[in-house]
């Protein structure tokens, strides 16, 4: 049993596995309210707030799946060739308006409506046409090569379910139904800031001991891709008054507050006192590497995710915990399954059993097999290897060293659609 993550003022930091932390977060979140009606193009990346119901059949008419001849199956002889008279042509945009009578055929193109009277399409390749006739071999199946009206989508059926995030296929599908507008959920508003006295903003020279604030840029990228409305609150010093003002502002304006830094031992105590006064926040140690410390809870009416400061840990915790949480808040349902798949590891990887490790990997085809190797130095501050990687190598808690040739699981960075 894990301790209730939301319990306020908890003195100890509970230890969670990655799975427990995910579950504890997702178990508390419900989608935000609010919706708007937008044009199909503007729906790209948005989450449908209601089912899209098909107002017509797709395809609208029975039509041909192939180029060939529309015939009456009853006219075809069981043995030998049948010879039919070609009485016209049906194009996709220009149907044949007559009726196919006994002994007749209509030349038909892919997508053209099936002419009245015909019930079967014979593909052109098996036929022979000469002098207004077409010769058709035996062995044609009744109803073959036909696409039925409503086969893709039936009138009145759910074409796209509420909770779906619209990608290219969804825009096309809505358009295929003649739908010009859809109802989508309001965008999630996310306020984010970096904490740390050592942080310098880009564009200024670095003073001794300073580092550029990179986390706000990685988070900007990750959040933008999810289609959030962003409130970039800059860098906040490790100062109680400045932090309190930032948390109050953020919670008044956003659904979610995302911070980086200030959650490690020592710093956490100081922020803990502050945010527990403004809401209820638990500091967790999650058994992962990188990214062990993380805060989760509420500040005022907003959800708070306090990510670690290390640049790679920010991305690991974001992708393992925050991304799906934001999806759930944005109304995405069902959440996509985490897509892990097995590949061969090309090199030895050292690992202590105990924590779930997310290594930066480079997946490539080697002699026809997907093979992964480490993408450079794995320190939690080394963003370069994050950029060179195309996947996480995910090594579960109990796993020890990986030998070259063993199977490991990877999580790919980019999806196709």
Give the DSSP per-residue string, 242-296. HHHHHHHHHHHH-SEEEEES--STTHHHHHHHHHHHHEEEEEEEESEES--EEEE
Distance CA 298, CA 219 (A): 20
Pick from ligand AMP, Mg ion, none: which does 67 bind, CB < 5 to 8 A by kind? Answer: none
In the region spanning residues 256 to 295, those forming contacts with ligand AMP, defined by CB under 6 A, are: 260-264, 267
Phi and psi at 209, nearest 5°, equal 85, -5
Write down the least CB distance from residue 268 to ligand AMP, Å: 9
Using CB under 5 A as the binding criterion, the count of chain residues that bind Mg ion stands at: 4
Helix axis angle, 240-253 to 267-278, nearest 10°: 40
Tell me the number of residues near ligand AMP by CB under 6 A: 18
**DSSP sequence for 284-332:** EEESEES--EEEEEEETTEEEEEE-SSHHHHHHHIIIIIHHHHHHHTT-
The site string for ligand AMP over 208-237 (x = CB under 6 A, - otherwise) reads ---x-xxx----------------------
196 binding Mg ion? (CB under 5 A):
yes
Smallest gap from Cβ 315 to ligand AMP, in A, equals 12
Which residue is associated with the tokens 């996709």?
A: 92
- Per CB under 5 A, which region of 40-48, 106-114, 139-147, 195-203 contacts Mg ion? 195-203
Strands 356-366 vs 288-289: parallel, antiparallel or unpaired = parallel
The residue among 324, 375, 365 whose CA lies nearest residue 343 is 365
Least distance CB 262 / Mg ion (angstroms): 5
Among the listed ranges 196-204, 280-288, 362-370, 397-405, the one in contact with ligand AMP (CB under 6 A) is: 196-204
Show the binding pattern over residues 292-331: x = contacts Mg ion (CB under 5 A), - = does not.
-----------------x----------------------
Comparison of 150 and 311: residue with beta carbon closer to ligand AMP: 311
Q: How far apart are CA 171 and CA 272, in angstroms?
A: 45
Question: What does 409 interact with, of ligand AMP, Mg ion, none (CB < 5 to 8 A by kind)?
Answer: none
Residues 244-283, interacting with Mg ion (CB under 5 A): 261-262
**Minimum distance from residue 27 beta carbon to ligand AMP (Å):** 26
Cis before residue 59, ω within 30 degrees of 0? yes
Least distance CB 380 / ligand AMP (angstroms): 8
Binding site for ligand AMP (CB under 6 A): 194, 196, 198-199, 211, 213-215, 260-264, 267, 308-311
């Amino acid at each position: 049993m894990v301790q209730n993550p939301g319990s306020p003022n908890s003195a100890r930091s509970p230890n969670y596995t990655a799975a427990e932390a995910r579950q504890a977060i997702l178990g508390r979140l419900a989608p935000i309210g609010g919706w708007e009606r937008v044009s199909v193009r503007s729906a790209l990346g948005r989450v449908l707030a209601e089912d899209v119901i098909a107002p017509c059949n797709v395809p609208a008419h029975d039509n041909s799946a192939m180029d060939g001849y529309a015939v009456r199956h009853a006219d075809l002889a069981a043995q030998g060739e049948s010879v039919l008279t070609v009485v016209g042509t049906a194009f996709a945009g220009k149907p044949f308006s007559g009726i196919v009578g006994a002994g007749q055929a209509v030349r038909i193109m892919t997508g053209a409506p099936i002419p009245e009277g015909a019930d079967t399409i014979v593909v052109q390749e098996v036929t022979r046409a000469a002098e207004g006739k077409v010769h058709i071999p035996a062995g044609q199946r009744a109803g073959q090569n036909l696409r039925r009206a409503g086969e893709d989508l039936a009138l009145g059926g759910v074409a796209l379910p509420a909770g779906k995030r619209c990608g290219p296929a969804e825009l096309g599908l809505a358009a295929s139904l003649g739908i010009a507008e859809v109802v989508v959920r309001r965008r999630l508003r996310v306020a984010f800031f970096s904490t740390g006295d050592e942080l310098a903003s880009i564009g200024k020279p670095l003073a001794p001991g300073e580092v550029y604030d990179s986390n706000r840029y990685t988070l900007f990228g990750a959040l933008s891709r999810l289609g959030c409305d962003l409130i970039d609150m800059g860098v906040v010093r490790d100062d109680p008054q400045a932090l309190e003002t930032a948390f109050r502002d953020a919670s008044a304006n956003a659904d979610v507050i995302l911070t980086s830094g200030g959650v490690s031992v020592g710093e956490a105590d100081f922020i803990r006192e502050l945010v527990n006064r403004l809401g209820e926040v638990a500091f967790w140690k999650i058994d992962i590497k990188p990214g062990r410390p993380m805060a989760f809870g509420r500040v005022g009416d907003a959800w708070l995710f306090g990510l670690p400061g290390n640049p790679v840990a920010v991305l690991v915790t974001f992708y393992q915990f925050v991304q799906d949480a934001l999806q759930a808040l944005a109304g995405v349902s069902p959440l996509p399954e985490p897509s892990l798949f097995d590949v061969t590891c090309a090199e030895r990887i050292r690992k202590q059993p105990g924590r779930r490790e997310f290594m930066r990997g480079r997946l490539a085809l080697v002699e026809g097999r997907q093979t992964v190797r480490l993408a450079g130095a794995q320190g939690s501050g080394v963003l370069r290897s994050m950029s060179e990687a195309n996947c996480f190598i995910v090594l579960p808690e109990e796993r020890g060293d990986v030998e070259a040739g063993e199977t490991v699981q990877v999580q790919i960075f980019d999806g196709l659609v």
